[in-house]
Amino acid sequence: MKIAFIGLGNMGGGMAANLVKAGHRVNAFDLSTDALARALENGCATFTSVRDAVDGVDAVVSMLPNGSIVDSVFENDVLGYAPTGAVLLDCSTIDVDTARKVTADAVAAGYDMVDAPVSGGIAAANGGTLTFMVGGTDTAFARAEPILSAMGKAVIHAGGSGAGQAAKICNNMLLGASMIATCETFAMAEKLGLDLQTFYDISSKASGQNWSMTSYCPVPGVGPTSPADNDYQGGFATALMLKDLKLAIEAAQSVNADVPMGARAAELYAQFDADGKGGMDFSAIIQSLKN
């Protein structure tokens, strides 16, 4: 297939490269000349205009920073410029209402479209092992699935339009809260005099086991290799976790859902970000909890 990929940041660059590896022809666009240069090295054709990138393609994939940018790009540069036979896939993490609006606009213009946010972080984006949570009609999902499968290990149809975004923010609210609980537990275990590797060996096989501990341990030298072993660089930035938590809290308020743990996690990450730590991996919050 000929696929336009819009947004080549930390996640999008690796995703576009994996589409090329799967045999697709990729038209890549980003505002960054460095990102375009990397895309060219990875086998993409590069463009300095979204409208030129989407001309004549079979699909359009976007990975953009926020809902307002997604809405603007699709309204001004994709709808009416990509062929109406193209399937549209937005893999950004944005609010549910905007995802539904953009899809409704696309459908009104004659396109099939899905919202397909991802889980897995930069390493999974580069390795092609992302998990996609997809919202859209059965027809749109069937068309999008082969494209998403080239970039991930799991592609799950969450429901109708906006359901992918709803699943993503619920998942990341759980992740944010469970990471804080994991961090504070290791901090307390250390102050109680426990050897942290020994505590890991116990808790990872007991009822306290969770993904934040066994797959992404916030303690250097404990568990599988994680950003903690690289001075908390790379991985999933605190600023991005805070963005997702804010989206989750807004969504919770819109449906009158009570989320005290999610709300507290958002407060703690907001403070960590305000302390200048927004570029560090979100597991680095263990530093503030230890202090």
Phi, psi of 47 (to 5 degrees): -135, 150
Q: pLDDT tens digit string along 238-289? A: 999 999 999 999 999 999 999 999 999 999 999 999 999 999 999 999 999 9
Q: pLDDT tens digit string along 54-113? A: 999 999 999 999 999 999 999 999 999 999 999 999 999 999 999 999 999 999 999 999
Cα–Cα distance for residue pair 131/271, rounded to 1 Å = 29
CB 16 within 8 A of CB 30: no
Cα dist from 195 to 110, 199, 202, 291, whole Å: 61, 6, 11, 18
What confidence tier does 159 reach under pLDDT thresholds 50, 70, 90?
A: very high
CB 280 within 8 A of CB 238: yes
Beta strand spans in the chain (E): 2-6, 25-29, 45-47, 59-62, 87-90, 112-115, 118-119, 130-135, 152-159
What SS3 class is residue 217? Answer: coil
Residue 121 in this model has a pLDDT that exceeds 90: no
What confidence tier does 155 reach under pLDDT thresholds 50, 70, 90?
A: very high
Place of tokens 């998942």: 171
Q: pLDDT tens digit string along 2-40? A: 999 999 998 999 999 999 999 999 999 999 999 999 999
Cα dist from 113 to 42, 86, 108, 137, 156, whole Å: 26, 9, 11, 8, 15
Marked catalytic residue, from 101, 168, 243, 277: 168
Q: pLDDT tens digit string along 198-232? A: 999 999 999 999 999 999 999 999 999 999 999 99
**Beta-carbon count within 10 A of 198 CB:** 11
Pairing of strands 25-29, 2-6: parallel
Place of tokens 């930035």: 237
Cα–Cα distance for residue pair 55/87, rounded to 1 Å = 13
Please provide the size of the chain in residues: 291
Angle at 110 between CA 147 and CA 160, to 5 degrees: 60
Q: Following DSSP, what letter does each residue of 161-204 receive, concatenated? A: TTHHHHHHHHHHHHHHHHHHHHHHHHHHHHHTT--HHHHHHHHT
pLDDT for 93 = 96
Going 142 to 56 to 46 to 48, the CA torsion angle's sign is negative
Q: Give the distance, in angstroms, between the CA of residue 72 and the centroid of all CA atoms in the same chain.
A: 20
> Which residues touch 79 (CB under 8 Å, ≥6 apart)?
105, 106, 109, 111
Active site residue 168: yes
Mean of the pLDDT values across residues 184-189? 98
Predicted structure pTM score: 0.92
